[in-house]
């Protein structure tokens, strides 16, 4: 099971923020593989997995944001009903808590799921 580097930033909420982030990364040829963003207490919170984390961190720093980096579980599932349920049930059955989840683009008829889990090594074993 692969691991992925997840970047997380917090900043003041404003119109056009996600467009600015995505455009700046795109200009530097950094591909966003998965993204999740929301507003919490007037702050924008953006989590993303990109193909070039060091380059993305540099771009984000240039925009004034320090990106927190963490490892997440990356699994590829068939794009079929019940597949996410099977994988997350296996994690729960193994006693692994999921802190957050989002889905990114996968290969044809597949989806890539990124899971922030309490115990990455045990999670990787649980979903094999």
Q: Are residues 15 and 28 in the same domain?
A: yes
d(CA 97, CA 110): 24
Per-residue model confidence (pLDDT) at position 1: 56
The CATH number covering residue 18 comes to 3.30.2130.10
Torsion angle, CA of 84/89/90/91, rounded to 10 degrees?
90
Answer whether residue 108 shows pLDDT above 80: no
**3-state SS, residue 128:** coil
Query: pLDDT tens for residues 82-104?
Result: 999 999 999 999 999 999 999 87
Q: Are residues 65 and 92 in the same domain?
A: no
**3-state SS, residue 79:** coil
Answer whether residue 44 shows pLDDT above 80: yes
Query: How high does pLDDT run on average in the chain?
Result: 91
Per-residue model confidence (pLDDT) at position 116: 83
At 71, list the tokens: 């490892």
d(CA 64, CA 37): 18
Q: Which domain holds residue 8?
A: 3-70
Helices (H) and strands (E) in the chain, counts: 4, 6
Q: How far is CA 75 from its chain centroid?
A: 11
Domain count along the chain: 2
Answer whether residue 58 shows pLDDT above 80: yes
């Amino acid at each position: 099971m692969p691991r992925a580097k997840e970047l997380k930033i917090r900043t003041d909420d404003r119109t056009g923020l996600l467009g600015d982030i995505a455009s700046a990364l795109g200009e530097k040829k950094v591909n966003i593989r998965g993204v999740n963003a929301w507003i919490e207490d007037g702050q924008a919170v953006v989590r993303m997995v990109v193909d070039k984390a060091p380059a993305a961190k540099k771009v984000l720093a240039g925009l004034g944001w320090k990106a927190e980096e963490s490892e997440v579980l990356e699994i590829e599932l068939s794009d079929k009903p019940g597949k996410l349920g099977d994988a997350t049930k296996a994690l729960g059955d193994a006693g692994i808590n999921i802190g957050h989840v989002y889905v990114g683009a996968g290969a044809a008829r597949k989806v890539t799921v990124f899971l922030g889990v309490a115990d990455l090594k045990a999670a990787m074993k649980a979903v094999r």
